[in-house]
Structure 1
Amino acid sequence: MSKPPRESLIVVGDRFEEFLRNPGTIAASAVLARLEAGDTGGLDLMAGQGLSAELLAELDKQWPAQRPAPLELTHKQRMKNVMVGEPTRVDGRYEAPLVLDERCETLEDHLTGQHIPAIALTEAARQTWTAVTEKFFPTGLGPARFVIDDFHASFHAFVFPLPATLTYEVVEHEPGAVQHRFHSVVRVRQSGAVAAQIEVRFRLVAEKLVDKQEAMAARQAVADCLRG
């Protein structure tokens, strides 16, 4: 007797309830219940978006699943707020999977319709250039801060809670004694198409220098405010 066909489903966080009405999707809570009951026979699961690091780790035991990047690469303090996987270098550019936890700070209070909000994609882009810089561009500056000089985002299509990739291209890198300048482009790709593009110019500045500049600017801002 032939075996029954396996069912292929994409696992999506429960907060994407409108998207979960689409055939071929299954809520994270339903998968957790089946994992706890040992009832996953006949399933081929693919990790979508909105899943916790803990659930991704459980899924990875049976089906390949992306994992969030380490906290130190993304400059976040809570794992639920890490939105990308660890970047890799591919043909002169860099790639990182989108790995959204539905509890993250950019989704927990703003989620409408079926798509991922633009604000979440821009934060994922920021985490991408931060992680790539930390991993692949040792500057010798010691502790340093990221300072954005210019930022432009364009959105071409909805990004849904499905697998997606961020590609990162360094257009120009200007090293220096106390700071490094970068001109870069991040593209959010889903189903083979570019859905969003974020172009940024930022500096990586030695922490001692930027702390001094910020403190002086803060004192001046208070004085200007008091003068009315």
Structure 2
Amino acid sequence: MHGPSPADSPHELVVLVGDRLTPSGDDREGLIRYSDFLASVERGRYDASPPTRLKIVTGQGIGRYETDHLQRELKRRNLDSTVERSLGNDTDLSLAGRHEVHKDSQRNVLVCDVRQVGAGRYQAGLYIDNDNELVLDHATGRHIPGMVVMEATRQMARVSAERQLDGRTTGGGYQWVVHSCNTEFRGFLFPLPVLLECEISQAGRHRPNQSRFQATVSLCQGGRATVVSTMEFAAYRERTLERAERMQATRAVQETVANLSARPS
């Protein structure tokens, strides 16, 4: 008498996301925190006879370290499982350069696999590290925090402009300034794959000390543009920007001191 074949064993789909991107102990929507799932594996939840066949899909917040650790534990318990990285992982992905998005720490780079798809048109993926600065203190919700979305928009616009200029501003001597940004949230984004699309054009004539751009950035999930931002920004020569910044800083200090001095004692 033969036992059930692996094809006859129960099958369970598991979608894992980083611990800071979904609440603990609540997987009703199908998103499971990495540490919750790992604890259930270690407790033997899936050690059934016949064993449960697991198909594991990793979403945002799951890097190479977490994936390798999980695979070792699954192997140790002899569980029949496959792990699919819907986002790739932090060694497979080509993250935008830190200089391109104005970030010192790689964990804070949100844009990956940037590619040009037409004249002034770029696409990229969203990649959220579980230790990204903008998710360290996000208290509630299953959706991607709005500030992450806004920062991803800024990074996508800037890296697109850098590529449009063929890197002429990345060697130093320029600083970027956002002049305006309008964002329309049409729904929530969740910690799953997100496509970023950017259409960028130069605003006005190029000047020796500055290059101005207009950009429309869309964040798409499930084939829908869930967030759409329009921005106007510019790259300035450092000496030009520094001069303007110093003047405005001096004025701000003087006005603050004057206001304090005018208060009744």
| TM-score for both structures, normalised by structure 1 | 0.82
SS in 2 for 1:204: strand
Aligned-pair CA distance for 1:52 = 3.9
Q: Distance in 2 between matches of 1:123 and 1:14?
A: 20
User: How has the CA–CA distance of structure 1 residues 161 and 183 changed in structure 2, closer, same or farther, with 3 Å as cutoff?
Assistant: same
- Gaps (5+ residues) in structure 2? 42-51, 71-82, 260-265
Counterparts in 2 of 1:63 and 1:102: CA distance versus 1, 3 Å: same
In the alignment, the residues of structure 2 paired with residue 226 and residue 111 of structure 1 have an alpha-carbon distance, to the nearest angstrom, of 37
Q: Report the Cα distance in structure 2 between the residues aligned to 1:129 and 1:105, rounded to whole angstroms.
A: 20
Residues 208 and 214 of structure 1, relative CA distance in 2, 3 Å threshold: same
Q: State the AA in 2 paired with 1:81.
A: N
1:115-173 CA distance string (max 9 Å, x none): 11211100111111122222342364552111111111110011111111111111444
- Counterpart of 1:89 in structure 2 is 116
Match of 1:21 among 5, 23, 27: 27
Q: Normalized against structure 2, the TM-score is what?
A: 0.72
SS at match of 2:57: strand
Q: 1:31: Cα distance to partner?
A: 6.9
Q: Residues 171 and 185 of structure 1 are in contact (CA less than 8 Å); yes or no, is this contact kept in structure 2?
A: no
Deviations 1:50-74 (A, max 9, x none): 2346447989xx7451534332222
The residue that corresponds to 2:248 in the other structure is 217
Q: Give the conservation status (yes or no) of the 8 Å contact 2:25–2:36.
A: no
Contact 1:53 1:79 in 2 (8 A): no
Q: Secondary structure at the match of 1:94?
A: strand
Residues 178/200 of structure 1: CA separation in 2 closer, same or farther (3 Å cut) = same
Measured after TM superposition, the shift of residue 5 of structure 1 is 7.2
Q: Does 1:152 align with 2:182?
A: yes
Q: Tell me the equivalent position of 1:46.
A: 57
| Residue in 1 that maps onto 2:209 | 178
CA–CA distance in 2 between the matches of 1:149 and 1:58? 44
Name the residue aligned to 1:208. 239
* Structure 1 unmatched ranges of 5 or more: 35-40
Match of 1:11 in 2: 16
Please say if 1:98 is aligned against 2:109.
no
8 A contact 2:111–2:126 mirrored in 1: yes
Alignment of 1:65-76 (within 5 A): 65=88, 67=93, 68-76=95-103
- The amino acid that maps onto 1:46 is V
- Give the CA RMSD over aligned residues: 3.2
Amino acid of the residue matched to residue 160 of structure 1?
F
Tell me the CA shift for residue 183 of structure 1.
Answer: 0.6
For residues 190 and 213 of structure 1, do their structure 2 counterparts lie closer, same or farther at Cα, with a shift above 3 Å needed? same
